[in-house]
Structure 1
Amino acid sequence: MNSPIIDHDRRKLCRLGLGGLSALFIAPFTFTTQNIAAPLQSATVGMLQAPDENGVRLPVGLASRIVARSEQNLFGYQWHAAPDGGATFSTPDGGWIYVSNSECRKGKGGAGALRFNRQGVLVDAYSILQGTHNNCAGGATPWQTWLSCEEVERGSVWECDPFGKREPVIRETLGRFQHEAVAVDTHTMQLYLTEDKPDGCLYRYTALEFDTAGFPDLTTGRLDVMQIVDRQNNRVAWHPLRNPAARYQPTRKQSVLATHFNGGEGIWYHNGFIYFTTKGDNRIWALDTTRQTLKVIYDAAQHLNPILTGVDNITANAAGELLVAEDGGNMEIVMLAAGTIKPLLQIVGHDRSEITGPAFSPDGSRLYFSSQRGANGRDQDGITYEISGFGSSLR
């Protein structure tokens, strides 16, 4: 597909405000925006230092620890191979849970959980999904569930209980396709989904019914696919799909009007915007859910020496600054905001791996992620990390 309008002024980087955006516009080296709601904090992130004992390069003030290794026995649960997408959930005792997918094939995938107490001590580990296929990314919901996505043809979305008390459930209304990730618009309670195919689509789920808390029923809604209808003004429209769970016709081919994206990856919602990455062309996109406009906010092809390539999983801190994990590239998590694109961390010696599952603890003080295949490049060599030391200026 053709790119939305790109300004070729490469002279400077302006602020990328991920809260209160009313107009967003990308240049090869320039972010411009209006109505920044709060000061951003990426300027407080310093240069990466030499690798620590875990092979992680970090700015001064941050520290790493390894919390799990694939095939390690933790409280009777063998931490899964090929850890991928992840998210955190608060617990009633003041602690939190980190959920992680397993991108293993042929029924060996699923998802597991690490539970931490309020002091950050690991106190439990367990499975929340088993016997599935290529569970790549997914997304957390405001109603405290984890949506685990199967990245296979006609893959499903499984709704899982991070606490491990309820059985996982397939959500057929979210379609059968090569799912990558999900983000929930916490204002409208609509769900947005990416598809990891060279001709993948962006989808939106709208519920027809809601519970008493205002959360959507995922059994009776409508799945739409996006079309860019006005490239000059970047406007989009949505078209309903006849049968999202059809056995014989791929979901992405049910509408001839659909716009196709080259390898949809991570997706995140913040303050009226849906941000998603496409690894096939190394772009980051921003969908204004109110104005229904879509723009490229980062395009590696427009940089002479791009800091960020292999764009994949995406998250944000409380200030709304984007953190993008690299699949390949320099094995970094890269921060975009406040006039800069800079690495937050780098894993050294893991050239055959990818960084997956970045997620902040609920209080913003710690960041979790994995090296999916570790230093040896094998699924069974995955490593899951915690980065601590985030003060209020970095959360």
Structure 2
Amino acid sequence: MSRTTDARQSATRRQVLARTGALGVGITFAGAVSELFAGSAAAQGKGGYGPLVPDPAGLLDLPKGFSYKVLSREGDPLRSGEGKVPSNHDGMAAFAGRQGRVHLVRNHENRVTAKIQVPTVAGLTYDPMGKGGCTALTVDRHGNVLSERVAIAGTAVNCAGGHTPWGTWLTCEETEDRAGTNGYTKDHGFIFEVDPVDPHRSGAVPLTAMGRFQHEAVAVDPRRGIVYETEDAFQSPFGLFYRFLPNKPEGGLGSLRAGGRLQAMRVPGVPDLSAVQETGASFGGVEWVDVPDPLAAQTPIRNQDFGPKGITHAQKLEGCYWGGSCVYFVSSYARSREGSAADHFGQIWRYDPASRRLTLVIVFGPDTDVQLPGEEPDNICLAPSGGLMVCEDGEGAQHVFGVTRKGEVYAMARGRQNIGTPEAPEWGEFAGVTFSPDGDTMYVNCYTPGTTFAVTGPWHS
């Protein structure tokens, strides 16, 4: 994404601070943080695990007592022999396996210019001209990688997604390119289901009824089977927040292929969520409007006619997850100069299906010092100790930040792989943060250079 001159200048100061060791945590959070978390109150009282310790290997800084293992790096051979580990590691999820094993499914947000594409594999390839997809890793109880293989190929710009209650991964294409664009032979902009244990069971079938748009993330209501979807659009008109009502809400591998209804959220009187600035602001009577053309045959969904009342938009809708009885979703930022109604550095919204009420529960800034990192939250997950892990996707130094149940912010990890120069360093963003089913290991990706880490330590202390 292009950056303004002001943004580049602030990034330069951040780089200087990082080199001199003066870089601090620059997020402030406001709002009802406590409602998101459940866990040990004792673990929350510390405000994190202590300062980050510089990594002698120059890969990943962590607090004292924590360590990491590199599970996979782009360009290395896949253990399956199918080719090389692809570029651009993005969204990811962890699934329980037998005998303490963990199955990881990892997105590769590859465009046509990708350095290393996801290898095409018979039975797992949607469009041979697509460069993106997913790879799957199996890790034993000791953190050793047992297998690494292609899980789906021939898709495009696989950004985030979400896990299902029945143990599969929904990978999302963040593009609207049609067949004939960029060499593609098929339309793109779909969700695909991936079986983490045996990808050939799921194949490469687009879930067309779930819409064709710039998908980011999904979350599934485990009781009702409803799938919520975010649209990452940073140019006006901005994206929508969707729900998919499946014809087979009981779920199971392949059930989403049976179709259903795609609807978009309308908040009466709120055409743009960025206009809401106060935490705790709440709106009842949320409406869900059928999408006129889910396949966007002629017009992108966000541009379609939703009637005289219109529809509710928001810039950069990204992370999405289910917690308790509600769905939470992230607006990474809003900029009035780009068409938003107002500016913010990030929001987390909660939608309660039972009451049809939408509430702004967390605001990132605007009291944040923008010269420091912390703006633009992206992938988010709940931590087993009772907190939130946030992947930063801004300029300058890149972190995984933790947020305690009391709203205290701390740096959990800092990327050290310099993809710039010594004079003007740059660091790849973090993505795909997730925890093992037993809560003992945090898995996270560095987007560039594509690297998957397993982090262990005193998570429950």
TM-score category of the 2 structures, normalised to the smaller one? 0.7 to 0.9
What is residue 286 of structure 1 aligned with on the other side?
350
What is residue 200 of structure 2 aligned with on the other side?
165
| CA deviation vs aligned residue, 1:71-119 (integer Å, no higher than 9, x gap) | 1113124211101100011112320111111111131111001111222
What is residue 330 of structure 2 aligned with on the other side?
277
What is residue 50 of structure 1 aligned with on the other side?
53
What is residue 229 of structure 2 aligned with on the other side?
193
What is residue 91 of structure 2 aligned with on the other side?
85
What is residue 113 of structure 1 aligned with on the other side?
136
Matched ranges for 1:284-323 at <5 A: 284-305=348-369, 308-318=374-384, 321-323=387-389
Give the conservation status (yes or no) of the 8 Å contact 2:282–2:359.
Answer: no
Distance 1:372 1:358 in 2: 11
CA positional deviation for 1:352? 4.1
Give the conservation status (yes or no) of the 8 Å contact 1:115–1:124.
Answer: yes
CA positional deviation for 1:226? 0.6
What is residue 67 of structure 1 aligned with on the other side?
71
Q: Among 101, 105, 108, which residue is 2:107 paired with?
A: 101
CA positional deviation for 1:313? 0.8
Matched ranges for 1:24-43 at <5 A: 29-31=30-32, 39-40=40-41, 41-43=43-45
| CA deviation vs aligned residue, 1:179-206 (integer Å, no higher than 9, x gap) | 1111111122211111110300110011
What is residue 275 of structure 2 aligned with on the other side?
none
Question: TM-score, normalised on structure 2?
Answer: 0.72
Shift in CA distance, 138/334, structure 1 to aligned 2, threshold 3 Å = same
Shift in CA distance, 309/248, structure 1 to aligned 2, threshold 3 Å = same
CA positional deviation for 1:343? 1.9
| CA deviation vs aligned residue, 1:295-349 (integer Å, no higher than 9, x gap) | 2233233223366212111111235522110112531111223221222211135
Q: Which has the higher helix share?
A: 2
What is residue 244 of structure 2 aligned with on the other side?
205
The amino acid of 2:283's aligned partner reads N
What is residue 13 of structure 2 aligned with on the other side?
none
CA positional deviation for 1:214? 11
Shift in CA distance, 177/35, structure 1 to aligned 2, threshold 3 Å = closer
What is residue 115 of structure 2 aligned with on the other side?
none
The runs of 5 or more residues in structure 1 that have no matched partner are 1-26, 375-381
What is residue 362 of structure 1 aligned with on the other side?
437
What is the aligned-residue identity percentage? 30
Distance 1:322 1:273 in 2: 16
What is residue 118 of structure 2 aligned with on the other side?
none
Give the conservation status (yes or no) of the 8 Å contact 1:29–1:302.
Answer: no
Higher CA-based Rg: 2
SS of the aligned residue for 2:375 comes to: coil
Give the conservation status (yes or no) of the 8 Å contact 1:85–1:100.
Answer: yes
What is residue 10 of structure 1 aligned with on the other side?
none
The amino acid of 2:191's aligned partner reads V
Distance 2:76 2:251 in 1: 41
Distance 1:355 1:291 in 2: 35
Distance 2:448 2:172 in 1: 19
Shift in CA distance, 155/214, structure 1 to aligned 2, threshold 3 Å = closer
2:139 aligned with 1:122: no
Give the conservation status (yes or no) of the 8 Å contact 1:261–1:278.
Answer: yes
Q: Which has the higher strand share?
A: 1
2:258 aligned with 1:183: no
Give the conservation status (yes or no) of the 8 Å contact 1:172–1:219.
Answer: no
| CA deviation vs aligned residue, 1:249-308 (integer Å, no higher than 9, x gap) | 212233253210101111111111222222233222222232222222332332233662
The amino acid of 2:66's aligned partner reads L
Distance 1:84 1:344 in 2: 18
Shift in CA distance, 288/349, structure 1 to aligned 2, threshold 3 Å = same
Distance 1:171 1:157 in 2: 5
Shift in CA distance, 310/32, structure 1 to aligned 2, threshold 3 Å = closer
CA positional deviation for 1:132? 1.2
SS of the aligned residue for 2:228 comes to: strand
SS of the aligned residue for 2:53 comes to: coil
Q: Which moved more, 1:261-270 or 1:30-39?
A: 30-39
Distance 1:322 1:216 in 2: 31
Distance 2:233 2:36 in 1: 35
What is residue 259 of structure 2 aligned with on the other side?
220
Matched ranges for 1:344-383 at <5 A: 344-350=412-418, 351-374=426-449, 382-383=450-451
What is residue 6 of structure 1 aligned with on the other side?
none
What is residue 137 of structure 1 aligned with on the other side?
160
Give the conservation status (yes or no) of the 8 Å contact 1:62–1:389.
Answer: yes
Aligned length: 360
SS of the aligned residue for 1:74 comes to: coil
The runs of 5 or more residues in structure 2 that have no matched partner are 1-27, 113-129, 177-187, 271-280, 335-345, 419-425
Give the conservation status (yes or no) of the 8 Å contact 1:65–1:386.
Answer: yes
Distance 1:115 1:368 in 2: 13
The amino acid of 2:355's aligned partner reads R
SS of the aligned residue for 1:93 comes to: helix
Provide the aligned C-alpha RMSD in A. 2.5
Give the conservation status (yes or no) of the 8 Å contact 2:136–2:149.
Answer: yes
What is residue 315 of structure 2 aligned with on the other side?
262
Question: TM-score, normalised on structure 1?
Answer: 0.84
2:418 aligned with 1:334: no
Give the conservation status (yes or no) of the 8 Å contact 2:31–2:363.
Answer: no
The amino acid of 1:95's aligned partner reads R
